[in-house]
């Protein structure tokens, strides 16, 4: 099996010039990363209308489309399902995406993030039928949808549209594999039953897997000092037979090189390694205060515009390094610059959009209590 063809460059978390402005991509660094990735024989770029507020597609045009022959790379883009208001919008968005990317066809095209509210919009706007026509007309070579929900909803979508599709892009990693809230294993099996390929997103669960406590880091080191924590997670996904692409969202050169090494020297995960990862999954779950993958879908849903994943990120890091005062300072700085976490009105709008099924308002309250009251930097 050709494992090298499974390494997809996820363009949702590209290197930035300004940490507070997602649209300011560090184009020079991205170009250098693309050159190394392509030179080593990898060729798949995954983006969406929404990533980096639209700047991800433009950055790909500059780094890839304008610098490499069209047949040397593959591009996947995604319809902004949440923004659809009428069937005419399908055309409008697709034309805009083609223009931003500077291409005249997509190698892969997905309906982005099918959940209950957005499935309704896709049905209302005939988006699956539209995407099928894109394939018939040669505007998209392969089609499917991306999905973060549980198996029941996946079955409903596949029963309705599975026959016209090629791929489902699933959230899949060794933490979520048997997690009853995510059901990654069940979802994978359903795709296989329907004869569809699986593309994987969030193999590191938005960084949760690679930023554990020092104790867990040491256990990985003892188990195998020559392999990075990320490489185990990637090999878990890419070793699955029906997984054809595993996306890695890379924002620095170090991660790119590590991932290239994983695929250039690919080893299928052994039984012993499977057992080890099962053990580590249990420990990681006990260790992570809030399992936020930092996907960002809740932010647009929140009428108060609370930067929810940023607060959850600080909470997790602070819990892992309780002796450090620095996270308390970051929490105060974040609340000064953006909307404070305690401005949550408990309206509950965000909950339906959370890809990790987190009770966001309750968790925000816990975060506030941690930083404002109970958290002592000195234990």
Contact status: 304 vs ligand SF4 (CB under 6 A): yes
Q: Please, which residue, 115 or 127, has the CB nearer to ligand SF4?
A: 115
Q: Measured between alpha carbons, how far is 227 from 206 in angstroms, rounded to an integer?
A: 20
One DSSP character per residue, 346-364 reads ---GGGGG-TT---HHHHH
**Structure-token pair, residue 14:** 């590209």
Least distance to ligand SF4, CB of residue 206, Å = 7
Q: Look-up: residue for tokens 């490489």?
A: 231
Contact status: 365 vs ligand SF4 (CB under 6 A): no
Q: How many CB atoms within 10 Å of residue 21?
A: 12
Least distance to ligand SF4, CB of residue 126, Å = 27
Q: How many CB atoms within 10 Å of residue 43?
A: 20
The 3-state DSSP class for residue 80 equals coil
Contacting ligand SF4 (CB under 6 A), which of 56, 259, 293, 316?
293
Of 312, 298, 117, 110, give the one whose Cα is nearest residue 208: 312
Site size toward ligand SF4 (CB under 6 A) is: 29
Contacting ligand SF4 (CB under 6 A), which of 94, 335, 344, 367?
344
Q: Look-up: residue for tokens 């883009």?
A: 77
Contact status: 350 vs ligand SF4 (CB under 6 A): yes
Residue 348 near residue 338, CB atoms below 8 Å: no
Q: Please, which residue, 154 or 358, has the CB nearer to ligand SF4?
A: 358
Contacting ligand SF4 (CB under 6 A), which of 360, 367, 370, 371?
360
User: For ligand SF4, which stretch binds (CB under 6 A), given 36-44, 211-219, 235-243, 287-295?
Assistant: 287-295
Contact status: 296 vs ligand SF4 (CB under 6 A): yes
Residue 308 near residue 299, CB atoms below 8 Å: yes
Residues 6+ apart with CB under 8 A from 322: 377, 379
Q: Please, which residue, 309 or 340, has the CB nearer to ligand SF4?
A: 309
User: For ligand SF4, which stretch binds (CB under 6 A), given 6-14, 16-24, 207-215, 289-297?
Assistant: 289-297
Contact status: 345 vs ligand SF4 (CB under 6 A): yes
Q: Measured between alpha carbons, how far is 260 from 254 in angstroms, rounded to an integer?
A: 10
Q: Measured between alpha carbons, how far is 312 from 374 in angstroms, rounded to an integer?
A: 16
Contact status: 361 vs ligand SF4 (CB under 6 A): yes
Contacting ligand SF4 (CB under 6 A), which of 10, 144, 162, 309?
309
Q: Measured between alpha carbons, how far is 345 from 362 in angstroms, rounded to an integer?
A: 11
Q: Measured between alpha carbons, how far is 375 from 336 in angstroms, rounded to an integer?
A: 19
Contact status: 41 vs ligand SF4 (CB under 6 A): no
User: For ligand SF4, which stretch binds (CB under 6 A), given 29-37, 78-86, 158-166, 338-346?
Assistant: 338-346
Contact status: 56 vs ligand SF4 (CB under 6 A): no
Site string for ligand SF4, 236-275 (x = CB under 6 A): ----------------------------------------
Contact status: 354 vs ligand SF4 (CB under 6 A): yes
Q: Measured between alpha carbons, how far is 315 from 318 in angstroms, rounded to an integer?
A: 5
Contact status: 298 vs ligand SF4 (CB under 6 A): yes
Q: What is the CA radius of gyration of the chain?
A: 20
Interface with ligand SF4 by CB under 6 A: which residues?
292-298, 301-302, 304, 306, 308-309, 312, 344-350, 353-356, 358, 360-361, 364
């Amino acid at each position: 099996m050709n494992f090298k063809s499974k390494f997809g460059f996820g363009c949702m978390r590209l290197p930035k010039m300004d940490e507070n402005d997602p649209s300011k991509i560090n184009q020079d660094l991205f170009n250098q990363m693309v050159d190394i990735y392509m030179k080593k024989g990898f060729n798949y770029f995954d983006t969406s209308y929404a990533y980096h507020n639209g700047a991800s597609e433009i950055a790909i045009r500059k780094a890839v489309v304008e610098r490499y022959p069209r047949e040397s790379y593959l591009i996947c883009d995604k319809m902004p399902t949440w923004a659809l208001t009428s069937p005419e919008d399908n055309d409008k968005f697709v034309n805009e995406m083609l223009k931003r990317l500077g291409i005249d066809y997509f190698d892969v095209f997905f309906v982005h993030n099918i959940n209950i509210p957005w499935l309704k919009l896709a049905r209302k706007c005939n988006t699956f039928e539209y995407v099928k026509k894109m394939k018939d007309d040669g505007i998209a070579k392969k089609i499917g949808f991306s999905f973060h929900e549980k198996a029941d909803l996946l079955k409903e979508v596949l029963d309705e549209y599975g026959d016209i599709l090629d791929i489902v892009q699933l959230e899949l990693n060794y933490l979520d594999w048997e997690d009853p809230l995510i059901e990654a294993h069940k979802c994978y099996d359903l795709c296989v039953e329907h004869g569809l390929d699986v593309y994987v997103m969030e193999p590191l669960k938005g960084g949760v897997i690679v930023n554990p406590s020092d104790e867990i880091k040491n256990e990985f080191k003892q188990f195998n000092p020559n392999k990075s924590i990320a490489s185990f997670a990637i090999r878990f996904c890419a070793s699955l037979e029906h997984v054809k692409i595993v996306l890695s969202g890379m924002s620095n050169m170090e991660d790119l090189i590590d991932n290239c090494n994983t695929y250039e020297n690919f080893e299928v995960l052994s039984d012993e390694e499977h057992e080890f990862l099962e053990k580590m999954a249990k420990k990681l779950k006990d260790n992570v205060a809030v399992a936020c993958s930092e996907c960002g879908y809740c932010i647009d849903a929140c009428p108060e515009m609370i930067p929810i994943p940023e607060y959850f990120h600080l909470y997790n890091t602070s819990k892992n390094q309780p002796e450090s005062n620095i996270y308390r300072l970051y929490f105060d700085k974040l609340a000064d610059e953006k909307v404070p976490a305690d401005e949550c009105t408990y309206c509950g709008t965000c909950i339906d959009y959370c890809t990790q099924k987190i009770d966001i308002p309750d968790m925000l309250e816990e975060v506030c209590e941690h930083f404002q009251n109970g958290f002592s930097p000195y234990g």
